[in-house]
Amino acid sequence: MGCGSCGTATGGEQGCQSKGGCSTGGCNKNNVYDWLADMPLSFNENFNIIEVAFKKGSRKGFYRNSANLSLTKGQLIVVEAAQGYDVGEVSLQGELVKAQMKKNRVSERDDTIRAVLRIAGEQDINIYLDGRNKEQETMIRSRAIAKSLKLDMKIGDVEYQGDGKKATIYYTADDRVDFRELVKVYARDFKVKIEMRQIGARQEAARIGGMGTCGRELCCSTWLADFKSVTTQAVRYQNLAINTEKMSGQCGRLKCCLNYELDTYNDALKKFPKNPDKIETEEGTAYLRKTEILKKQLWYAYEGQHGNPFKLDVETANELIWMNKQGKKPASLGNYHVVEEVIVDESKHDDLVGQVSLTALDDKARKNRNKARNKRSGGRNGDDRRQQGKQTGSDKPQTEGGQQQDRNKQQNRNQGGNNQNRQGGDRNKQQGERNNQQRNQGGNNQNRQSGDRNKPQGERNQQQGQKPQGDRNNQQRNQGGNNQNRQGGDRNNNQNRQAGDRNKPQGDKPNAPIGDNTEHK
């Protein structure tokens, strides 16, 4: 957890802004909540051992406060080291330190426990921060050097000592690595003493940290201190699919959380039959299809049956298997099928979101398409419905006033239809006259052009003594153009008369339906 998601606030900023040593214990790795913080330091006044964390909890150790310094949690102190001194922060003190020492099997009388020198001063803190700032650059450079020497190893982390005179490089490797030449190159480039420390894949993931597939921080980098071996038996006992991608953590090994519920599954499996693969019945042999360990249920199905398996509890399955061992067969598994009753809690409110159909938008689009199709049809269906409504309404008894209103409406419709037909005939007649005039004009223009073309030829023929032939050709062409014009005019007049004859009976027909007038129009 970072300062942005912390519940405490100092000076208007979120979190304590200690960047790794907050009092809530949410920023460091492998934190222990000090639930005895308000109690005295120890019930035994001679107990003066404290727990000190280095590099945000990546490494912890026990140190003896021989000088009885007044220390608080998260305070930076200077402690002894194998060579020189180191700077760390106080993580625990008091009675909880005894519990941690007992857990890690460290004795209070151990002479290897080093002493606390002093509270870190300003100069000590500056040197400590300078070393922390150089760790990332040093790790990148060390990886490049190891690759240039063609060493099969992976540099995982680099940690500088508090005095800045020593650097510990953590690496992982499958085989033994001869890094004697590598250490010389590191010492020459970094100008500090180099210590190489090999760690496993789980320890590397714990030091680097990260997020698991569950959405939480890695257990090894938050609270898990000891790593127990995880085997594939844990996967089989929990009836899980053996999928290496899902079963492996960021370290590339099986997830440590597979051991968390293993004891619960082992206790539940003690009540299951040892050989539950099949059960003999009079209907046939039923084979095991599925096992639900925590629900203590087994699912069986007959050979060749693909659906509707029979659900049996553990006690019934043990009884049927014991009957088979005695040479007896039950009639059918349907007599022992467990039926679960679905209990509906009516006190809860209805799920309004679940009641919305996913096809609501499709239905709306279909209605819009149907509506557009009806509009394109020209409203014929609506006219038919109105006409049917009039016919059905005429069957009902009406008063004299209602009958008079119907007759008036019908007369108005007939008059409107006659007017429309007369207007249509007049329009057709005018159109025919315009077409006749245009054709006559076209024929005259053609005749004039033909006469103009023939005139020079006639003049030449006249000069040559062939005048009668040119005159005869000119007259024939003019007569042909006039005949074409007369025939075009006659055809237009005939068409206009036929259109008027068709429109006239419809307008004069009594009580003509409106829909029929609309179609002829």
Q: Are residues 237 and 263 in the same domain?
A: yes
Does any domain span residue 45?
A: yes
Does any domain span residue 294?
A: yes
Does any domain span residue 375?
A: no
Q: Are residues 264 and 280 in the same domain?
A: no
Q: Are residues 147 and 67 in the same domain?
A: no
Check residue 380 and give its pLDDT. Answer: 57
Does any domain span residue 296?
A: yes
More confident residue, 278 or 444: 278
Determine the Cα–Cα distance for residues 248 and 169; give it in Å rounded to an integer. 26
Q: Are residues 204 and 236 in the same domain?
A: no
Q: What percent of the chain has pLDDT over 90?
A: 26
At which residue do the structure tokens 């190893």 appear? Answer: 153
Q: Are residues 292 and 253 in the same domain?
A: no
Does any domain span residue 351?
A: no
Does any domain span residue 349?
A: no
Q: Are residues 49 and 92 in the same domain?
A: yes
* Strands ordered across the beta sheet of 154-160: 154-160, 166-172, 193-198
| Boundary-marking domain end, from 103, 120, 137 | 120
Q: Are residues 332 and 281 in the same domain?
A: yes
Does any domain span residue 473?
A: yes
What is the domain extent for residue 242? 232-268
DSSP result, 124-165: HHHHHHHHHHHHHHHHHHHHHHHHHTT---EEEEEEE-TTSS
Q: Are residues 236 and 205 in the same domain?
A: no
Check residue 245 and give its pLDDT. Answer: 86
Per-residue pLDDT averaged across 39-50, rounded? 68
Does any domain span residue 475?
A: yes
Write out pLDDT tens, residues 129-150: 999 999 999 999 999 999 999 9
Strongest mean pLDDT among 49-58, 151-160, 330-339, 430-439? 151-160
| Boundary-marking domain end, from 120, 150, 183 | 120
Check residue 109 and give its pLDDT. Answer: 87
Determine the Cα–Cα distance for residues 21 and 223; give it in Å rounded to an integer. 16
Please, what is the average pLDDT of the chain?
74
Q: Is-contact 225 176, C-beta < 8 A?
A: no
Check residue 335 and give its pLDDT. Answer: 85
Of 35, 32, 30, 26, the C-alpha closest to 7 is 26
Backbone region of residue 209 per phi and psi (left: phi > 0; alpha: psi in -120 to 50; beta: other values): left
CATH classification of the domain holding 211: 3.30.300
Q: Are residues 210 and 191 in the same domain?
A: yes
Domain count, the chain: 5
Determine the Cα–Cα distance for residues 365 and 148; give it in Å rounded to an integer. 67
CATH classification of the domain holding 325: 2.30.30
Check residue 242 and give its pLDDT. Answer: 83
